[in-house]
């Protein structure tokens, strides 16, 4: 019987380097439960981004399996899976003309067609992040790296996924805005005890603030999983 408290689990997953002789991710086993707040750290090249992409089923695996709610994720289920488990790259790509258009775009996808764009929610999030309603009409081509990051974050939050995989979501932000992002995500998690995050960070203080558990990664392997001190 699957554990109903586990949302996403990876069992001994691995991905080989294209040269076929070395592993980029090797023998990683990880369970993400409802309400989990996991901080993932490690040096550059440790495999953090590759692991996040593997958990989101964005890259193929050469070994092991990723399961969602106890079930294998078959090809025809991947669009709905990715609607519920959203990976947020630190350098997100926005192809629409304006911020508002970028936020509305997901609702044209089959996985989200039963949902409706809620202007009041995005306006409140942007206000919390120091942007007024005029920001919605700003051209995507004119956005800074930090503004792209917060737009991508709001676009993900509005879809109410069960899991957010956050790959250095404040890397391009100044310190006050980074703290505001942490607070927004804290409140979003507190709204629903079934939600969970994995947060990649190079900032030890941030990792401690945002993670109730700390995962250290190196050379494609999980080196340590420990509870963060309260």
> Is the pLDDT assigned to residue 2 strictly greater than 60?
no
What share of the chain in percent tops pLDDT 70?
A: 98
> Is the pLDDT assigned to residue 230 strictly greater than 70?
no
Say which residues have a Cβ less than 8 Å from residue 102's Cβ, sequence separation at least 6: 94, 95, 96, 140, 151, 155
Task: List the domain boundaries for the chain.
Answer: 6-227
Q: Determine the Cα–Cα distance for residues 167 and 224; give it in Å rounded to an integer.
A: 19
What is the overall mean pLDDT for the chain?
A: 95
Instruction: Give the tens place of pLDDT for each residue, 176-225.
Output: 999 999 999 999 999 999 999 999 999 999 999 999 999 999 999 999 88
Element housing 123 (H / E): helix 119-128
Q: Determine the Cα–Cα distance for residues 79 and 154; give it in Å rounded to an integer.
A: 20
Mean pLDDT of 80-87: 96
Question: Which CATH code of 3.40.50.300, 3.90.1150.10, 3.30.9.10, 3.40.630.10 fits the domain covering 6-227?
Answer: 3.40.50.300
Q: Which of 136, 146, 155, 26 is nearest to 87 (CA)?
A: 155
State the CB neighbour count (10 A cutoff) for residue 47. 23
Mean pLDDT of 104-131: 95
Q: The tokens of 135 are what?
A: 């920001």
Instruction: Give the tens place of pLDDT for each residue, 9-62.
Output: 999 999 999 988 899 999 999 999 999 999 999 999 999 999 999 999 999 999
Whether 88 and 169 have beta carbons less than 8 Å apart is answered as yes
Could you give the 3-state DSSP secondary structure of residue 112? helix
Q: So what's the pLDDT on residue 225?
A: 87
Could you give the 3-state DSSP secondary structure of residue 147? helix
State the residue for tokens 């980029």. 24
What share of the chain in percent tops pLDDT 90?
A: 91
- 0.85 surpassed by pTM: yes
């Amino acid at each position: 019987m699957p554990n109903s408290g586990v949302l996403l689990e990876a069992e001994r997953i691995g991905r080989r380097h294209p040269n076929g002789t070395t592993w980029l991710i090797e023998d990683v086993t990880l369970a993400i439960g409802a309400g989990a707040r996991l901080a993932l750290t490690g040096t550059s090249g440790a495999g953090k981004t590759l692991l996040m992409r593997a958990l989101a089923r964005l890259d193929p695996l050469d070994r092991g399996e990723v399961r969602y709610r106890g079930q294998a994720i078959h090809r025809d289920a991947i669009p709905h899976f990715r609607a519920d488990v959203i990976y947020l790259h630190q350098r997100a790509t926005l192809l629409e003309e304006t911020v508002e258009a970028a936020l509305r775009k997901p609702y044209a996808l089959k996985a989200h067609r039963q949902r409706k764009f809620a202007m009041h929610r995005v306006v409140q999030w942007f206000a919390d992040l120091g942007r007024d309603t005029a920001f919605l009409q700003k051209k995507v081509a004119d956005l800074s790296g930090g503004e792209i990051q917060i737009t991508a974050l709001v676009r993900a939050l509005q879809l109410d996924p069960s899991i957010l995989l956050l790959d250095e979501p404040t890397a391009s932000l100044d310190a006050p805005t980074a703290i505001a992002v942490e607070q927004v995500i804290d409140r979003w998690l507190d709204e629903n005890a079934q939600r969970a995050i994995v947060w990649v960070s190079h900032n030890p203080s941030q990792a401690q603030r945002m993670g109730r558990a700390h995962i250290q990664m190196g050379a494609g392997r999980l080196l340590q999983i420990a509870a963060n001190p309260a």
